[in-house]
Amino acid sequence: MATDVITLITKDHRAVEGLFERLKNKEGDQEATVTELHALLIAHSRAEEDRVYPDIDAHHSLEEHKEIEILLDALMRAEPGTKVFDRTLDKLIKSVNRHVQEEEGKVLPNLAKSVSKKRLEDLGREFKKRRAEELDALSAQARSTSAPTRR
């Protein structure tokens, strides 16, 4: 299995887009999908910030991550099926799409050009580890603030 950081980041982007499709088409349990999306995007962003961005000049992406986090929090608080939910989801999708285009169009190709294959593999391992830690922390947090009091 490929472990280079570009493959891993791109895979996350496709997974996020899959969750957006489910939310837009109102498929399955919306709240569960939002929780999954929240965890995936936060873990992805933190792992990028801590393990990948220090290797490149990615100030702009940090700003995008902040905007995405604010919208994710708003989506977690919104009731599925309401206008607020749909509007917040639209904004989040636009914001994430911009991030994905920027990264896949510029940031990642530049990274691929500027570091060795070995470094891409090392970064991939570090990205994966940091992402897993963040996912664990988020699910522990979700358990301690358990579902009944969520809304």
Nearer to Fe ion, 60 or 77 (CB): 60
Residue nearest to Fe ion (CB): 103
Residue position matching structure tokens 């607020």? 84
**How near is the Cβ of 15 to Fe ion at its closest, in Å?**
11
Closer to Fe ion by Cβ: residue 31 or 50: 50
When the beta carbons of 4 and 103 are compared against Fe ion, the nearer one is: 103
Cβ density class 106-133: b for 16+ within 10 Å, e for less: ebbeebeeeeeeeebebbbeebeebbee
How many amino acids of this chain bind Fe ion (CB under 5 A)? 1
Q: Which stretch binds Fe ion (CB under 5 A): 32-40, 49-57, 99-107, 111-119?
A: 99-107
CB of 24 to Fe ion, least distance (A): 20
Contact 5, 42 (CB under 8 A): no
Backbone dihedral angles phi then psi of residue 14, each to the nearest 5 degrees: -65, -35
- Cα distance between residue 96 and residue 3, in whole Å: 23
Q: Which residues bind Fe ion (CB under 5 A)?
A: 103
